[in-house]
Structure 1
Amino acid sequence: MLLSVIVPCFNEEKSLPYFFAEMAKIEEVLPLDVEYILIDDGSTDKTLKLMKELSVKSGGKVHYFSFSRNFGKEAAIYAGLQNAKGDYVTLMDADLQDPPQLLVEMYDLLVAHDLDSVATRRKNRAGEPKLRSLFARLFYYLMNKIGETELVSGVRDFRLMTRQMVDAVLQITEYNRFSKGIFSWVGFKTEYIAYENVARVAGKTSWSFWQLLKYSMDGIVNFSDLPLNIASFVGALSCFGSGIALIFIVVRALLFGDPTSGWPSMVSIFLFVGGLQLLCLGIIGKYIGKIFLETKKRPHYLVKESDKNRP
């Protein structure tokens, strides 16, 4: 039985040696053969050079795929899933924030309970900036309130899946991908392992606060149409309120004459209604933009270099 370990990498030259050192310990106790699928997502450091060295030394166990530019982690995950040949597949970060020692427990749980997937989630976000932690909790709360696909709070991409589940995920070929939602949407029997947050072993995270915020917004748009419903409701409410205000102004003019004062309030109303319109157009535009990208049917990624051509 073969386990495919998918590792998306962006400037991880400092982390990869630590990662493989830890995985070497796990391979000794894991009752599976292991292959590594390393995805270089347009790194600007020596990550690709290190991948090549690891591939040569591994004797065919380590495979690498280098993108022509940075396509993002979602594209890297998709590329890894497409090229993984294992009976079991796992996604892991190179910075050891996904503890390799959990793989043994995950495999035992998967086999003992006849599961399709064992996923991980963080118990807490110790060590993270408070603002980032606050927005992360808010994101999971909103997703579970407005979306039709449930997301476990603190869930990670780190999970162990059977080949059947991986094949199901690969059937979803949409360009705008949100893997956490896709893993949940396809269903299959999944259990979760909670663990304490782990700091990066080396290097710096490539995820800024604004990148995470954009990623969260993409997740909401991809798995919920509630923002469109909100836009429609706001538009209807604004129209109704404007109608009432118009009736009030006409009645007041008929009874008390047409005063010349009141232009500040009128300008304020115009600005308010205009702002609501722009908000609604922005929400609708976000969905239209997603549709536009889907209709282009561009590839999710382009491989510039690989250890070998694999279909």
Structure 2
Amino acid sequence: MLQLTPPRPFPPETAPALSVVIPVYNGAATIGELVHALAGLDVPGGLEIVLVNDGSPDDSDAVCRRLVGTADVPITYVAHARNYGEHNAVMTGLRHARGDYAITMDDDLQNPPEEVLRLFLHCHDGGYDVVYTRYAEKRHAAWRNLGSRFANRVADLLIDKPKGLYLSSFRCISRLVIDGVARYEGPFPYVDGLIMQVTQRIGTLEVRHLPRAQGRSNYTLKRLVTLWLNLAFNFSLLPLRLAVLLGLAMGAVGGVAALYVIGHALFGSPPEGWASTMVVVLLLAAAQFVILGIVGEYLGRAFQTGNRKPQGIVRSVVRAGVPDRVQ
């Protein structure tokens, strides 16, 4: 096993070196196995697990509560009042993480627990603020892989990230980044966008990716689209700038068409044709609606943020030996 050579002392025993933050949604069948595998890791400086149940309709709540009292490592269990989304759950988990580093991972066992130690050591020994994992072979469905590639291409354009960096949900971040990300209180978090606003000291590590142990992915096309919208409209002005360019382009086309019509009327017969007129009208109307939609999306999000739409309401927090605490 690799030996840890810390550039600075780990925090005292009351604050473990590593917090593993796991958003849980319909994870009753897998979360127990994952927690017990993590508990068997020999993490220098100690390990804690933070489980955030994001309004699961299955028995995840009961399973997580049992784990708090039976696992061999400290567990903090946080229950959301309803489903808010994976990134919202990760934000809640980071606020309850006490470690000098935090690793975020899914509850589906597609990331082998033994890779957690490698990821932590790579981040700590390498002096990185964040380390993203990359997969030699992804075991998601084809449409999910396509959606992930699309999201990463969009991120290359919209946020200040190293080009070609794969944004994985299996990542390790330092306390500097945890504190920086946790300051964001808006209702539309995109964790990777927040990370890029804190640091550019970023590393990567190739890890294994396993087939899903139980059931199917909780990510639907709707959830992926929502994630893309959060990325596009919360961390970049590019959509607004594209709307301006679209307006200028349509204005240029209209100007050229107007010159053509005037020239044709002066030196030939007046132009006729209902179909051509309707095409122009429809094109202009479409461009206007696209621009209005983009502006409206920004205004709507600003309105919801101003009205303090919650990022996530915590129903209760449970730790071993501590009574339930309602937020």
TM over 0.5: yes
Which residue of structure 2 lines up, in the alignment, with residue 273 of structure 1? 284
Number of aligned pairs? 307
In the TM superposition, residue 170 of structure 1 has moved relative to its aligned partner by: 1.7
Kept in 2: contact 1:137–1:153 (CA 8 A): no
Greater mean alpha carbon deviation, residues 112-121 or residues 70-79 = 112-121
Q: How does 1:266-305 map to 2 (within 5 A)?
A: 266-305=277-316
Greater mean alpha carbon deviation, residues 96-105 or residues 38-47 = 96-105
Per-residue deviation, residues 269-305 of structure 1 (Å, max 9, x unmatched)? 1111111111121222222222122211233111223
Please give the alpha-carbon distance, in whole angstroms, between the structure 1 residues aligned to 2:70 and 2:62. Answer: 13
Kept in 2: contact 1:151–1:180 (CA 8 A): no
CA RMSD, 1 decimal = 2.2
Per-residue deviation, residues 30-65 of structure 1 (Å, max 9, x unmatched)? 223222211110111100011111112248822211
In the TM superposition, residue 146 of structure 1 has moved relative to its aligned partner by: 4.4
2:325 maps to a residue whose letter is: N
**Contiguous gaps of at least 5 residues in structure 2:** 1-10, 319-323
Which residue of structure 2 lines up, in the alignment, with residue 102 of structure 1? 115
In the TM superposition, residue 253 of structure 1 has moved relative to its aligned partner by: 2.1
Greater mean alpha carbon deviation, residues 270-279 or residues 120-129 = 120-129
In the TM superposition, residue 265 of structure 1 has moved relative to its aligned partner by: 0.6
Q: How does 1:150-169 map to 2 (within 5 A)?
A: 150=162, 152-169=164-181
In the TM superposition, residue 152 of structure 1 has moved relative to its aligned partner by: 4.8
Please give the alpha-carbon distance, in whole angstroms, between the structure 2 residues aligned to 1:118 and 1:153. Answer: 10
1:176 aligns with 2:191: no
1:309 aligns with 2:325: yes
Which among 251, 263, 273 is matched to residue 262 of structure 1? Answer: 273
Please give the alpha-carbon distance, in whole angstroms, between the structure 2 residues aligned to 1:117 and 1:240. Answer: 46
**Contiguous gaps of at least 5 residues in structure 1:** none
Percent identity between the aligned chains? 25
Higher helix share: 1
Q: How does 1:52-201 map to 2 (within 5 A)?
A: 52-58=65-71, 61-129=74-142, 131-150=143-162, 152-187=164-199, 189-201=201-213
Greater mean alpha carbon deviation, residues 289-298 or residues 228-237 = 289-298
Q: TM-score scaled by structure 2?
A: 0.86
Which residue of structure 2 lines up, in the alignment, with residue 18 of structure 1? 33
Q: TM-score scaled by structure 1?
A: 0.90
Rate the CA distance shift 1:295–1:151 in 2: closer, same or farther, 3 A. farther
In the TM superposition, residue 10 of structure 1 has moved relative to its aligned partner by: 0.8
Rate the CA distance shift 1:244–1:190 in 2: closer, same or farther, 3 A. closer
Please give the alpha-carbon distance, in whole angstroms, between the structure 1 residues aligned to 2:208 and 2:123. Answer: 21
Kept in 2: contact 1:150–1:184 (CA 8 A): no
Rate the CA distance shift 1:299–1:218 in 2: closer, same or farther, 3 A. closer
Q: How does 1:244-255 map to 2 (within 5 A)?
A: 244-255=256-267
